[in-house]
């Protein structure tokens, strides 16, 4: 019985060493970049809403967008309208880290012709 | 007698026809083997005596200058040291741990299957992807390794000199420190390779008959060590030779982790500048086909030497 216990202890120790990188990889896939950098959030991360910068960038307003939106923002300068549009984009692009990571994995990982367009 | 005389030419012609048919049947495989295996080796051998670069129409014969460089420049000295350090560390450890794990798992029931699956995970995983996970784990400030080591600070474990120094100053940079980089690569090599060896050893262990253990016990081999020394080890001879050879060849081929960690140059102060990376750097990145071919030829010589030793051992030493 004691011998079996020792065998299990040795094998479990080995298994922990083997599994550690997989654990990290899976845990990181749930977390936001900030949580990874700070090393917080446990295994699943806090799943706080985060802004998808790529989504914001996609909606980066140009002159035409500012001109189209100007009736919605009377008496404001182009600069102010632009900032307001960016703020709208930021408000429209929040995501939970887990959704963000896995969406990106499916939309960007197979990086064929689409990656260079954005 | 007359019958024999009349039949002999027929027998000879039948044999000739048989030989001719055999030659025709083996010709496709032979041609492919020559084209795919031998021709590239011969071309690499020829190019190793030239200063050829891809895109050039001509080249100059430089004799043994490329080989001379390999044995006289400090960069290549580091290459040999890194390669042999890796092989000499990874092969015994991965073979030993694989055998140890196989013996432990084999002595268990169905629960051993869980360990088997876990230990085989790194073999199935892509090393390049896992290298990124290891890079995070070995990060000096946010990595799991240094954070785990930091947990020992202020505990009784601090009497260990390594931990004491780490707690007092800082824990190693691992991938950024030339004293540790090669050992990190070796560790990852063992981590990735021993599961494969374990599976081969487990396959070998299934071929060891229970009766042999009973017979050994009756002959006085009471302890587990004696049974291992007298029965298991000799019975695993051919498997072990195969495992050692495969591990050696795989160890000589290490490349992914080094390319993932240090894409621009073989680690801090070239401490992990192994042969495969040197071939890639010289032949592909720097377009120095001549020197790249010379390293390739040396690499082939090492691998061939190992294979010959394996053949010799299998044929002469490990029959039981």
Task: Dump pLDDT digits (tens) for B108-118.
Answer: 878 889 999 99
pLDDT of residue B317: 61
| A:B CB pairs within 8 Å | 52
Contacts of B121 in chain A (CB under 8 A): 18-19, 22
> Any idea which residue has 């959704």 for tokens?
A99
pLDDT of residue B4: 53
H or E segment at A95?
Answer: strand A94-95
Higher pLDDT, residue A15 or B320: A15
For chain B, the distance separating the N- and C-terminal CA atoms, rounded to the nearest angstrom, is 49
pLDDT of residue B1: 46
- Residue of A14, A32, A39 to mutate for B, most B C-beta atoms under 10 A: A14
Q: Which of B188, B180, B172 is nearest to B271 (CA)?
A: B180
- Residue of B117, B144, B189 to mutate for A, most A C-beta atoms under 10 A: B144
pLDDT of residue B318: 57
In a 13 Å sphere around the CA of B219, the CA atoms on its Cβ side amount to 10
The per-residue pLDDT for range B222-245, each reduced to its tens digit, is 888 898 888 999 889 889 988 998
Q: Is the full-model pTM beyond 0.95?
A: no
pLDDT of residue B97: 95
Q: Which residues pair with A94 in a beta bridge?
A: A51
> Any idea which residue has 């040999």 for tokens?
B80
B134 touches chain A (CB under 8 A): yes
Q: Which of B226, B284, B277 is nearest to B254 (CA)?
A: B277
Residue % of chain B over a pLDDT of 90 = 45
pLDDT of residue B33: 93
Q: Which of B199, B195, B196, B229 is nearest to B212 (CA)?
A: B229
The pLDDT of residue A2 is above 80: no
**Residue B79: which residues within 8 A CB-CB, separation 6 or more?**
B266, B270, B273, B274, B275, B278, B295
pLDDT band, residue B126 (cuts 50/70/90) = confident
In a 13 Å sphere around the CA of B118, the CA atoms on its Cβ side amount to 20
Q: What value does the mean pLDDT take over residues A65-73?
A: 86
For chain A, the distance separating the N- and C-terminal CA atoms, rounded to the nearest angstrom, is 62
The per-residue pLDDT for range A79-114, each reduced to its tens digit, is 888 888 888 888 888 888 888 888 888 877 665 545
Lowest mean pLDDT among B208-212, B284-288, B308-312: B308-312
Q: For all residues of chain A together, what is the average pLDDT?
A: 83
Q: What value does the mean pLDDT take over residues B126-148?
A: 87
10 Å Cβ neighbour count for B186? 21
Residue % of chain B over a pLDDT of 70 = 95
H or E segment at B188?
Answer: helix B178-206
| Rg of chain B over all Cα atoms, to the nearest angstrom | 26
Whether residue B104 and residue A20 make contact (CB cut-off 8 A), yes or no, is no
B119 touches chain A (CB under 8 A): yes
Q: Which of residues 201-260 of B touch A (CB under 8 A)?
A: none
Contacts of A17 in chain B (CB under 8 A): 191
Rounded Cα distance between B199 and B299, Å, is 27
pLDDT of residue B5: 52
Cβ(B238)–Cβ(B314) under 8 Å?
Answer: yes
- Residue of B115, B139, B190, B224 to mutate for A, most A C-beta atoms under 10 A: B115
In this structure, whether the domain defined by B70-316 belongs to CATH 3.30.70.2390 is answered with no
- What stretches of chain A show up as alpha helix (H) in DSSP? 2-30, 33-38, 53-58, 63-69, 78-92, 97-107
pLDDT of residue B6: 52
- Which sequence spans correspond to the domains of chain B? 70-316
The per-residue pLDDT for range B10-37, each reduced to its tens digit, is 767 888 899 999 999 999 999 999 999 9
Residue % of chain A over a pLDDT of 70 = 91
The pLDDT of residue B9 is above 70: no
**Residue B175: which residues within 8 A CB-CB, separation 6 or more?**
B135, B138, B181, B184, B261, B262, B267, B268
């Amino acid at each position: 019985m004691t011998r079996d216990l020792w065998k299990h202890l040795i094998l479990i120790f080995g298994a922990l060493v083997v599994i550690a990188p997989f654990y990290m990889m899976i845990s990181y896939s749930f977390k936001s970049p900030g949580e990874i950098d700070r090393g917080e959030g446990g295994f699943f991360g806090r799943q706080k809403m985060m802004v998808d910068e790529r989504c914001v960038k996609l909606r980066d307003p140009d002159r035409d967008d500012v001109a189209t939106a100007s009736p919605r923002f009377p008496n404001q300068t182009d600069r102010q309208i632009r900032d307001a549009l960016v703020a709208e984009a930021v408000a429209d692009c929040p995501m939970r880290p887990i959704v963000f990571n896995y969406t990106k994995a499916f939309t960007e990982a197979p990086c064929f012709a689409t990656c260079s367009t954005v | 007698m007359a019958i024999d005389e009349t039949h002999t030419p027929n027998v000879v012609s039948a044999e000739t026809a048989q030989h001719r048919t055999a030659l025709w049947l083996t010709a496709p495989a032979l041609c492919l083997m020559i084209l795919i295996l031998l021709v590239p080796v011969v071309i690499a051998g020829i190019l190793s005596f030239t200063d050829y670069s891809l895109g050039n129409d001509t080249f100059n014969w430089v004799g043994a200058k490329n080989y001379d460089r390999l044995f006289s420049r400090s960069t290549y000295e580091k290459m040999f040291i890194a390669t042999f350090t890796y092989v000499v560390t990874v092969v015994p450890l991965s073979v030993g741990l694989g055998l140890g794990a196989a013996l432990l798992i084999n002595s268990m029931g169905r629960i051993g299957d869980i360990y088997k699956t876990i230990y085989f995970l790194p073999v199935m995983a892509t090393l390049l992807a896992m290298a990124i996970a290891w890079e995070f784990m070995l990060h000096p400030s946010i990595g799991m390794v240094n954070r785990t080591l930091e947990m020992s600070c202020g505990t009784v474990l601090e009497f260990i000199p390594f931990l004491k120094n780490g707690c007092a100053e800082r824990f190693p940079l691992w991938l950024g420190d030339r004293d540790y980089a090669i050992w990190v690569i070796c560790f990852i090599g063992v981590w990735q390779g021993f599961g494969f060896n374990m599976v081969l050893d487990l396959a070998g262990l299934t071929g060891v008959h229970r009766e042999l253990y009973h017979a050994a016990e009756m002959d006085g081999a009471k302890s587990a060590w004696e049974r291992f020394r007298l029965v298991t080890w000799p019975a695993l001879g051919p498997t072990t030779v195969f495992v050692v050879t495969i591990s050696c060849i795989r160890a000589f081929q290490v490349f992914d982790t080094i390319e993932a960690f240090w894409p621009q140059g073989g680690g801090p102060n070239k401490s992990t500048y192994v042969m495969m990376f040197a071939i890639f750097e010289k032949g592909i990145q720097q377009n120095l086909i001549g020197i790249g071919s010379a390293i390739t030829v040396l690499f082939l010589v090492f691998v061939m030497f190992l294979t010959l030793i394996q053949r010799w051992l299998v044929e002469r030493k490990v029959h039981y």
